[in-house]
Chain A
Amino acid sequence: AQSVTQPDIHITVSEGASLELRCNYSYGATPYLFWYVQSPGQGLQLLLKYFSGDTLVQGIKGFEAEFKRSQSSFNLRKPSVHWSDAAEYFCAVGAPGTSYDKVIFGPGTSLSVIP
């Protein structure tokens, strides 16, 4: 079975600074990978996903993520953070050929943005 870790519980960045949120997974083959964002009082929103193909994935709100098989990682990046990006970010991993019931969510990274 797959698993996922997010090593950083909380990160604080200044507005305008670059951002990288780490995600590591464990799975025997190429998994499905997702990043979701959860703003206070809101439901989770999909930022981007990777199934196959180009390892650099572009998402919404200016986010991107890179799948690195050799490092079992799928880190989320943004070149310039806005105050509205303050939220909880979840990485998730799924097994190809299965549905969302088999998708495992990481514990999340809380992002604070300093004006």
Chain B
Amino acid sequence: GAGVSQTPSNKVTEKGKYVELRCDPISGHTALYWYRQSLGQGPEFLIYFQGTGAADDSGLPNDRFFAVRPEGSVSTLKIQRTERGDSAVYLCASSLMAVPSSPLHFGNGTRLTVT
């Protein structure tokens, strides 16, 4: 596919469960970003990767959230002991380089609902 792919598109889980959200960036894009978008809000930065390493994880709300990108391509956002407040749309984006002059391409998001 030509764009950023996120799976699943929807995820419903019970409070306390563990979830994994996957992002397939555009091939060749070195920078990958995760955002969280709550209802009626703009995207909120969580973490970004330059290659395999997390260049900035300052947006992760607490230690229940973790993300990996082991081979510098696909990334997984992991949430432990989910809480109802984690319900949101999780967006992934990638860019060729980690500079604003390099356009950011967004996926369609994963809607997470914690019951």
Contact = CB atoms under 8 A, between A and B. Distances in A.
Interface of A: 9, 32, 41-46, 49, 51, 90, 92, 94, 98-103, 105-108
A102 B93 CA distance: 14
Interface in B29-80: 31, 33, 40-45, 48, 55-56, 58-59
Nearest to A106: B42
Nearest to A108: B42
Interface residues of B, number: 29
Contact of A107 (B41, B98, B100, B106): B41
Interface of B: 3-4, 31, 33, 40-45, 48, 55-56, 58-59, 91, 93, 95, 98-101, 103-109
A75 B41 CA distance: 19
26 contacts: A32-B100, A41-B108, A43-B3, A43-B93, A43-B105, A43-B108, A44-B93, A45-B106, A46-B104, A49-B100, A51-B100, A90-B42, A90-B43, A92-B42, A94-B100, A99-B31, A100-B48, A100-B100, A101-B48, A101-B55, A101-B59, A102-B45, A103-B45, A103-B100, A108-B40, A108-B41
